[in-house]
């Protein structure tokens, strides 16, 4: 230690990402998420119904377009339910990451004045999106049963699948929220990335259709996308076993290690970036 540094005294550390008490971090994250969930539609006539109506409105437009005009989904089993499930999962990912981008800046007054685990801010955004996902899953179940589907034990696969989606969403939320504090270009860039992800993922078209109409490598490359792999397995588990498993669509079980590595790699990178930036977030705002 130099003489100049010694004269400044003991180094004071800023607020950390998680803090020293995991229970405090969890309670704060949950409190922020519940408050945001209650306030989002406060004062609106339809209230929480808007959360269900938004994916339903997009579903209605795409369903009419691809079954009545372009004629893509008529030969696909339970096409409407498969489309709705894709929109619901994509809405969770886009909402949790898109809202998290500006979450630290949006809570500037809180971050500047109070010392608390900084990671609670972007994680509360992901948790709020999870509340909405649960509501929207109820709509998917209603549509599936009304279309002639049935309850199957394979629905339990949705638990680890949603957990994987939450992990990659949390990783992106941490990475984007910490980066936006110093680089405001992050938001428009991420908006473009989300649009690309929507069209590059088999949401309104099926991976089985890609396998039939394009070279075989195209479907396998698309399935390297973690969101596409999760969605494909969710359709197989929940909508109908007629949909290929993710392992079959990607060309082998071992190839699923690639999207899995991306999921946990994004989470590790996001946590490392946020943990490094957390003590200086208030000064950087």
- The Cα–Cα gap between 60 and 90 comes to 16
- The Cα–Cα gap between 247 and 108 comes to 44
- The Cα–Cα gap between 91 and 71 comes to 24
Q: Is 197 helix (H, G, I), strand (E, B) or coil?
A: helix
Tokens representing residue 269 in the block: 């990178």
CA nearest neighbour of 121 among 265, 276, 269, 281: 281
Q: Tell how far CA 196 is from the center of its chain.
A: 15
pLDDT of residue 74: 65
* C-beta of residue 121 within 8 angstroms of C-beta of residue 55: no
**Separation in Å, CA 190 to CA 101, 141, 180:** 8, 31, 10
Tokens representing residue 142 in the block: 């209603």
- The Cα–Cα gap between 173 and 121 comes to 10
- The Cα–Cα gap between 215 and 156 comes to 33
Stated pTM of the model: 0.87
* pLDDT values of the chain reduced to their tens digit, one per residue, 285 residues: 455 555 555 555 667 776 777 888 888 899 888 888 877 766 666 666 676 777 777 777 777 766 666 666 667 788 888 988 998 999 999 999 999 999 998 888 888 777 778 889 999 999 999 998 998 888 889 889 988 888 889 999 999 999 999 999 999 999 999 999 888 899 999 999 999 999 999 998 888 888 888 888 898 899 999 999 999 999 999 998 989 999 999 988 899 999 999 999 999 999 999 999 888 877 777
Q: Is 71 helix (H, G, I), strand (E, B) or coil?
A: coil
* C-beta of residue 12 within 8 angstroms of C-beta of residue 266: no
pLDDT of residue 19: 72
70 CB-side CA count, 13 A: 10
E strands, the chain, are none
Largest CA distance in the chain: 78
Q: Is the dihedral of CA 279, 281, 283, 284 positive or negative?
A: positive
What is the DSSP-derived secondary structure letter of residue 282? H
pLDDT of residue 46: 64
Helices (H), 101-148: 103-106, 108-113, 120-146
Which distant-in-sequence residues (6+ apart) come within 8 Å of 160 by Cβ? none
154 CB-side CA count, 13 A: 13
User: Tokens 């994680």 label which residue?
Assistant: 123
């Amino acid at each position: 230690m130099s003489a100049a540094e010694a004269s400044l005294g003991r180094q004071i550390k800023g607020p950390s990402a998680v803090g020293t008490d995991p229970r405090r971090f969890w309670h704060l994250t949950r409190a922020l998420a519940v408050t945001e969930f209650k306030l989002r539609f406060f004062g609106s006539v339809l209230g929480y119904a808007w959360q269900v109506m938004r994916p339903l409105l997009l579903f209605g437009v795409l369903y009419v377009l691809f079954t009545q005009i372009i004629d893509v989904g008529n030969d696909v089993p339970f096409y409407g339910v498969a489309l709705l499930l894709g929109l619901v999962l994509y809405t969770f990912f886009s909402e949790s990451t898109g809202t998290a981008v500006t979450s630290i800046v949006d809570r500037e007054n809180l971050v500047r004045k109070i010392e608390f685990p900084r990671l609670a801010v972007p994680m509360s955004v992901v948790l709020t999106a999870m509340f909405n996902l649960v509501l929207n899953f109820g709509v998917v179940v209603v549509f599936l049963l009304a279309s002639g589907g049935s309850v199957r034990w394979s629905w339990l696969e949705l638990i680890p699948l949603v957990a994987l989606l939450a992990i990659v969403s949390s990783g992106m939320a941490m990475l984007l929220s910490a980066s936006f504090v110093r680089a405001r270009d992050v938001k428009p860039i991420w908006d473009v990335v989300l649009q690309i992800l929507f069209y590059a993922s088999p949401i309104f078209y099926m991976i089985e259709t890609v396998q039939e109409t394009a070279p075989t490598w195209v479907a396998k490359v698309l399935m390297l996308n973690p969101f596409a792999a999760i969605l494909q397995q969710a359709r197989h588990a929940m909508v109908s076993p007629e949909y290929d498993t993710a392992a079959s669509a990607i060309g082998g079980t071992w190839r699923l290690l690639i999207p899995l590595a991306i999921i946990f790699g994004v989470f590790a990178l996001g946590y490392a970036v946020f943990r490094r930036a957390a003590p200086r977030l208030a000064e950087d705002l």
